[in-house]
Structure 1
Amino acid sequence: MPTAPSRGRIRRVLAGAATASVVLGLVAPTAAHAADPQPDQRIGLVPITPKNAAHAAAPADDTALDLGVTLRPRDPGALESFVTAVSTPGSPVFHQYLRTDEFAGRFGAAPADVAAVTAELTAAGLQPGAVESDGLTIPVKATVAQARKAFATDFAGYTLADGRTAFSNTEAPKVSGRAAAKVVGITGLNTVATAESMSRPSGKEIAQPKQAPATERQLKPNYVGGQPFVCSDIKDRLTAAGLRPMIDYNTPDTLTINTYQQAFGNGGAGATVAIMSLEEFDDQAIAGYQRCLGTTTNVSRVKVDGGPTVPPSKTVGVETALDIETVIGVAPNADVLVYQGADASNRELTATLRRIVTDNRAQTVSISWGLCEKYMDSSSLQAQNLILQQAAAQGQSVFAAAGDYGSTSCTDPSGQFLPQLATLSPASQPYLTAVGGTTVSNPYNTPVESVWNNPGGGATGGGVSAVWSLDSATGYQAGVSGPGYADLCNAPIGRTCRQMPDVSALADPMQGYLVTTYSDADSVYWTTIGGTSFSAPLWAAMTAHANADPKCAAAGPLGFLNPQLYKLGSTPGLYDPTSGNNVMSASGYTGSLYQAGPGYDLTTGLGTPRADKLFAQLCANLPASPAGKFNAVSPTRLLDTRSGASLAAYGETAVQVSGTAGIPASGVTSVVLNVTVTDPATDGHLTVYPSGGARPGTSNLNWTAGRTVPNLVTVPVGPDGKVRFYNGAWGQTQLIVDVQGYYGTAGGSTYLPSGPTRVLDTRTSGGALAAYATRTVPGSQLGAPSGTKAVVLNVTATDTRTDGHLTVYPSGTTLPSTSNLNWTAGRTVANQVIVPLGPDNSIKINNGSWGSAQVVVDVFGFLGANGGASFHSTTPQRLFDSRIGQATNSWPFGADEIRVLKLDGDGRLAKAKAVVLNVTVTNPRDDGHLTLYPSGQSAPDTSNLNWSAGQTVPNMVTVPVGPDGTVMIKNGSWSFTDVLVDVFGYYS
């Protein structure tokens, strides 16, 4: 059956190429013709020579080239259909994203095609490398002479208006007939087109001495949860310069007033934003910005092809600083990865974007660079299209600046305005969200937004792509036609040209975002910057906020947003600017203009975000994680590194779970593991997460050097049936993993919250548990209702005389060779335990040490009882951290203090019967214990964590949710301590 047309397909013949029109051939030849002799073919189009470019010497024969041969996916139609389905609400596979390592095997070129093209390239005298992890790109080393011969094209040299020299192939590259059907493009043959940043400085600048007066009023950090705001030292300097907030500049807190910020309270904790950069940036400038705001956002570099070589300056690094600091201000607890290409070339834009997507470390991507679609070579367009399809298939949200040159959108590579309608690439690509720009009037009262268009100072990009088209019946822009739409792409029957932008946000540089861009020996320099390169990271940061919120996180990242946004249509979550146009008089264009109006238009798209409403709508439409019921298995050891190599510093290991130790090969949603770290060389933490997914910014175990620490872990199983373990320490450690049970879609037991209730305390009844002794806790003491198959306990060992371990197991069974708690002499250790009941509804506790220990057991619920709830896993997210502040909880817990843990308002967690948390106590000033319990009742005489002064102690906690959707936390200590809370799932 033929594949139905799907959106995002490049049209057969590129516009403006009548004299050299080439069919790009997205549909692979049928099997009947695949073996027939094929004539050699030229791939793509001859690049357009820019105006005002003078001919110069051609590149020398020995000039080195780094080329990329882009292969055709094994089934382009299936790829496009999958991307549509996985991104569209209501689809059976909505949000069922591919793993990082799954794309190549499912949609990459067939191995036989890779081998055939590699052989052809080698035979042509080139040096192809191994296919990249996307399964679609073969890197090739060559010289100009080798490329000239291999691809039957000459090269010409140019001197551009800005003095830069460049070269370009004079003909589209020719490949053999055997390879032509397998190749869609060859990048790296020209250096004429360069990517440009879309930032617009306002010209306002404030110098802040690095040794500013160190008064409490001036330099006190302001970020204590909620939205950060700048320190009073800078506010005073801005006021002295006559600059007014919201009128002359914007900061994170004024963006909140203008409703760009959303009302989620975790600051993006657990989310990661990737920033695509083609320049170096100033670390001291970023540090100065964070010092003033009081933030501690983690900003890391990822070098691509060696990264940039030009050092940061007053002009170099401005764009990247704006992108980074926008994310810091809007999502201060997210992680920022800055992917830095070697320079601003078109090739590096493609290579850097590919690295972001194939790494798949970030759920959200911001692109503030681009070049005129007209001057993009067709091979790069094809390569970027496939990269963005992979991003959408993996669930990555990509935002790109729509451009700052109005309806003409861009200049040519020589810096000359184009007096014709044009769009910016990659913003015009169909598998990302293009972001336009607005300006705000009356900001202090009732803000009104209109199209950003400063006479002589830039205007939002927008218009109709001359390259890309979408299915006019099933594409996300079906039924959409912005005022002024024209068929610039010669769309085939049944398709319409891609229109952009999709959405907008504040971009006016005269109301720009206040950032630090560079520094010198004495000062850090603050300025205001606008342009659509501010709009794009603003959307990326807001989306990171939503991805980190448990309401969204339960279903994975939001992914490619366009199908969801266009499906919402008119919504309170989007403000619709209806005035203004995006013509730029400086461009010399005098034809029809794009005008704002009600509904979708080609200036501001669907509108600007009212983020608290918009993302609440998007999150509400997401599917919940599959419901699972608990199945106990005989405790089995899956991993013990003491019998082999330890887990290295910052190392990872994967453990096969599905299909082992009594766990079925399919239908498993999450697995329950008892994880123990022992003999750690340094302080550190362990993160457990499903294979194939991005590693979350949370922890399951935290330890100090030399300590043995256990914890129960409930973690989703990756699509390959594996779970990964990451050692977040700069020293090695030993790791022990025992499986206790699993949650699955077939059979099993539901959970009935209960208590917490203390059922055993050897300190007050029965005396300490002697060395190697076993004690029975009868069913009558546990209080298990009829039908109970297993009980959820918190078990604590204290007054331990020697090193040892504790094992909890069903009565009537043999003592297993696993453990639930491990300790070193003198330590107090607690751990959650899920244990099946024996035939007489009892359980046994064995002290596996040669010294006595006191044991305390608290009940937190039952599995298998009537009226229970099913388990839903969530992407691990940090709900609370008293060290850095969340809302009003920005200080350590005081002695006997009780605080309210808010979950997620009216979301899934607040409506759950119980939540599964990982709770960590750190920096305790004295011995103590922590108790979690549902709101609406008095604090019980139970505990979840027990510690000695100075210890860092984690424990998994399953706690019922109170009637108001909250949980209480009580510090049962005589002094202060810090508390961290991560959510891992809920029962509903």
Structure 2
Amino acid sequence: MVRSCFFVACLASLSGVSTGFARTMHTMHRREAPPSGYVRSHTAPGDHVLDLRLALAQNDFPGLEERLLAASTPGHQQYGQYLSKDEVSALVAPLSDTVSAVREWLASHNITSTPLSPSGDIRTASVTVKQANELLGAEYSVFTEQKTGAQTIRTLSYSIPEELRGHVNTIYPTTQFPPAKRSKSSAVISRARFPARDIPDSCTHSFTPECAIELYNIPSNLPAQSKVTLGVAGLKNYSVGYNDLQIFLQKYRPEVSDTTSFTIQGFDGYVNDQSTIIATEPNLDTQYTVGLVSPTVPVAFYGVGTDTSNSVIDEMIVLGNALLQQENLPSVLSVSYGLVEGLTDQATTATVCNLYAQLGARGVSVLVSAGDFGLEGGEDPTRCKEFQVDFPASCPYVTAVGGTMGINPEIAWDQDSSGFSSWFPSPSYQQSQVQAYLKTLPAGYDVGRFNVSGRGYPDISSRGAFTEIIVNGEVAITNGTSISAPIAASIFALLNAELVAAGKSPLGFLNPFIYAHPEAFTDITEGANPSCNSQGFNATTGWDALTGFGTPNYPKLRTAAGLQ
């Protein structure tokens, strides 16, 4: 796994400029080999078109982070005072010198760019592979994923002129690889519906919205609150089924009108094609959000990508910037997509993470699934050395949601991804809890296999195993924290609706609130995620690197949020 840049100097000719000299180049990122599971097939065609994204240096991200934490920390005099679209843009916009320098560099290669973000800190340029190779001193090749045969065009190294060092944070797609195709366990079954207002034993092995309502004491009769919206991220151009949602509501929430649905906003070419086979991921995301928050909170589905998209990172950036351009944002955003940190580079993950910070500064609670493949990240366990870290769960500006299973007691799901970021340091709001947990590990536990100074995740948990959904008209059981995030997001969307109805601000970035109020969660103290030739991390009293603080208890969350 590549964890940092190697700085070397090389020479590259300026394309289209007869200056008689060559620029000194600075290597931004280099891989010695493609990530595990990929092999190089051949040189990429020179006329293939790439949409390059250039992330430029922001003028005052520390200032934005300061305002984010002030608005999100209970007891702070600025608590609940979120920034406007223009205020956020002013803090992250690049300096004019940066924009000019980048434009001149691109122009010297006959390339033009346009802003992708509202602040202009991310720009996009359509270039051929031949142009990209000349611009970046790169060697773009076609790489094949061994398990599926899927192909992607990437380079193992790229550079920028030395004088642009400090102006450009990252460029992609370059050395960032898509996540390998990883399937979740699901099976089509049929069964009778659970009796109402009870937690039957069957919730242990087959979970429905009614189980969630009873287990987490979620209210189901709150009045509609149009000022609060629950957003659902839909990447990879996956289609989401209207008919499946109707069947889901008829079966599991008959008290909610089966005409209840979600709105759709599409970005970067997204089309919700109902003639194709409907994917599991967007169905479970929309069915559990609509199923748990209706009729109180409307749900908005944000679709991103086309059939040719293969970069989750790029789609996250497209979605983040598309939302930041809007005046009215969802109060909560649920994200059930991710990839291993090592598939990309530190600067690119920071670009995505900073987008979530900007959303938080505007009052959006971002909840993401912690991941579903233990400490192996879906890699071959026989070759697993360092613990793999899931991103964006490892971002300190999101709330990472782990998974549980069972009832009485509810225990940790044994396939949870969890642990400590290789790149993001432990933020101030969690340092004492993380240090306390690390002291519970045996002396010398898996030394060198994880970063003891890294951001610990998950922050909280909710059900993630044996969950019922409807896919293409049939009942299916699915496992994974992909279901944990929308369940938790629904709970906080309802809480925000109550806060807004009471004349209060929504919670925004949740983690300072969560770490200040562990009493609002049911502590999960049993379970572990043995993987990567290790015993894994264990659940224990207090915060732990498997279930965080545990699962939400809605009445206790109300009290912690100041609702009577």
Structure 2 residue aligned with 1:448, among 385, 409, 429? 409
Q: Does residue 164 of structure 2 align to residue 179 of structure 1?
A: yes
Aligned position for 2:397:
431
Q: Is the 8 A contact 1:255 1:261 kept in 2?
A: yes
Correspondence for 2:422 among 460, 463, 466? 466
Change in Cα spacing, 1:605 to 1:196, as seen in structure 2 (3 Å) is farther
2:117 paired residue number: 132
Shift of 1:269: 4.9
Please say if residues 72 and 182 of structure 1, whose CA atoms lie closer than 8 Å, have aligned partners that are also in contact: yes
Describe the superposition over 1:715-757 as per-residue Cα deviations: whole angstroms up to 9, x where unpaired.
xxxxxxxxxxxxxxxxxxxxxxxxxxxxxxxxxxxxxxxxxxx
Q: 1:614: which partner in 2?
A: 557
Shift of 1:297: 3.3
* TM-score, scaled to structure 1: 0.50
The verdict on how the C-alpha distance between 1:297 and 1:98 changes in structure 2, with shifts beyond 3 A counting, is farther
Equivalent of 2:510, from 542, 549, 561? Answer: 561
Unpaired runs of 5+ in structure 2? 9-22
The 3 A distance-change label for structure 1 pair 599 and 40 is same
Query: Structure 1 residue 168 and structure 2 residue 154: aligned?
Result: yes
Q: Out of 260, 264, 276, which is 1:301 matched to?
A: 264
Deviation at 1:178, TM superposition (A): 3.4
CA RMSD of aligned residues (A): 3.0
Give the secondary structure class of the aligned counterpart of 2:366. Answer: strand
Q: Partner letter of residue 152 of structure 2? A: A
Cα distance change of structure 1 residues 103 and 289 upon mapping to structure 2, 3 Å threshold: same
Verify the 8 A CA contact 2:34 2:156 in the aligned structure 1: no
Report the equivalent of 1:603.
Answer: 546
Shift, 1:192, TM fit: 3.4
239, 244, 251: which one aligns with 2:208: 251
User: Counterpart of 1:480 in 2: which secondary structure?
Assistant: helix
Letter in 1 for 2:154: S
In the TM superposition, residue 91 of structure 1 has moved relative to its aligned partner by: 2.0
Of 573, 580, 584, which residue of structure 1 is paired with 2:527?
A: 580
Larger Rg: 1
Counterpart of 2:91 (choices 99, 106, 130) is 106
8 A contact 1:466–1:488 mirrored in 2: no
| Cα distance in 2 between the residues matched to 1:108 and 1:552 | 34
Deviations 1:741-776 (A, max 9, x none): xxxxxxxxxxxxxxxxxxxxxxxxxxxxxxxxxxxx
What letter is aligned with 1:449? E
Picking from 317, 324, 342, the partner of 1:374 is 342
Correspondence 1:506-905 to 2 at 5 A? 506-509=463-466, 512=467, 514-518=468-472, 524-550=473-499, 554-569=503-518, 571=519, 573-584=520-531, 589-620=532-563
- DSSP 3-state at the match of 1:66: strand
C-alpha distance 615-144 of structure 1, shift in aligned 2 (>3 A): farther
Q: Matched residue of 1:328: which SS?
A: helix
Structure 2 residue 227 is the aligned partner of structure 1 residue 280: no
2:434 to 449, 474, 480: 480
Q: Does the aligned pair in 2 maintain the 1:304–1:339 contact within 8 Å?
A: yes
Aligned to 1:717: none
1:424/1:582 Cα in 2 relative to 1: closer, same or farther (>3 Å)?
Answer: same
Q: Secondary structure at the match of 2:53?
A: strand
What does the per-residue CA deviation read over 1:505-557, in whole Å, with 9 as the maximum and x for residues that have no partner? 11112xx1x32221xxxxx2122323101110111111110111146762322
SS at match of 1:93: coil
Change (3 A) 1:248 1:128: same
SS at match of 1:614: helix
Distance 1:128 1:534, change over 3 A: same
Report the AA paired with residue 163 of structure 1: G
| 1:70 positional shift | 0.7
1:340 aligned to which of 294, 299, 303: 303
Q: Where does residue 321 of structure 1 map in the other structure?
A: 283
The alpha carbon displacement at 1:283 in A equals 2.2
**Aligned 8 A contact 1:400 1:435 in 2:** yes
Question: 2:30·2:156 contact (CA, 8 Å) conserved in 1?
Answer: no
SS in structure 2 at match of 1:528: strand
2:293 to 327, 331, 335: 331
CA positional deviation for 1:260: 5.0
Q: Distance in 2 between matches of 1:289 and 1:336?
A: 15
Which residue of 2 is the match for residue 404 of structure 1?
372
In structure 2, the CA distance between the partners of 1:534 and 1:58, relative to structure 1 (3 Å rule), is same
Residue 392 in structure 1 maps to residue 360 in structure 2: yes
Is the contact made by 2:118 and 2:321 (CA closer than 8 Å) also made in structure 1? no
Distance 1:370 1:110, change over 3 A: same
Rounded Cα–Cα distance in structure 1 between residues aligned with 2:49 and 2:464: 40
- SS at 1:477 equivalent: helix
Q: Distance in 2 between matches of 1:93 and 1:619?
A: 16
State the alpha-carbon separation in 1 of the partners of residues 151 and 72 from structure 2. 43
Aligned to 2:76: 91
| Residue pair 2:102, 2:164 contacting (<8 A) in 1 also | yes
Matched, 1:497 2:416: no
Three-state SS of the structure 2 residue aligned to 1:117 is helix
- Kindly provide the amino acid, as one letter, of the partner of residue 464 in structure 1: F
What does residue 206 of structure 1 align with? 190
Q: Structure 1 pair 379/401, CA: closer, same or farther in 2 (3 Å)? A: same
Letter matched to residue 450 of structure 1? I
The whole-number CA distance in structure 2 between the counterparts of 1:361 and 1:526 is 33
C-alpha displacement at 1:612, in angstroms? 1.9
TM-score by length of 2: 0.85
The amino acid of 1:466's aligned partner reads S
Change beyond 3 A, Cα 1:139–1:396:
same
CA separation of 1:287/1:85 partners in 2, compared to 1, >3 Å: closer, same or farther?
A: same
- Which residue in 2 is equivalent to 1:351? 318
Deviations 1:823-881 (A, max 9, x none): xxxxxxxxxxxxxxxxxxxxxxxxxxxxxxxxxxxxxxxxxxxxxxxxxxxxxxxxxxx
How far did residue 63 of structure 1 move? 0.7
Q: Percent identity?
A: 23
| In 1: Cα distance, 2:225 partner to 2:203 partner | 24
Q: Secondary structure at the match of 1:42?
A: strand
Query: Number of aligned pairs?
Result: 527
CA distance in 2, matches of 1:613, 1:480: 23
Residue aligned with 1:57, SS = strand
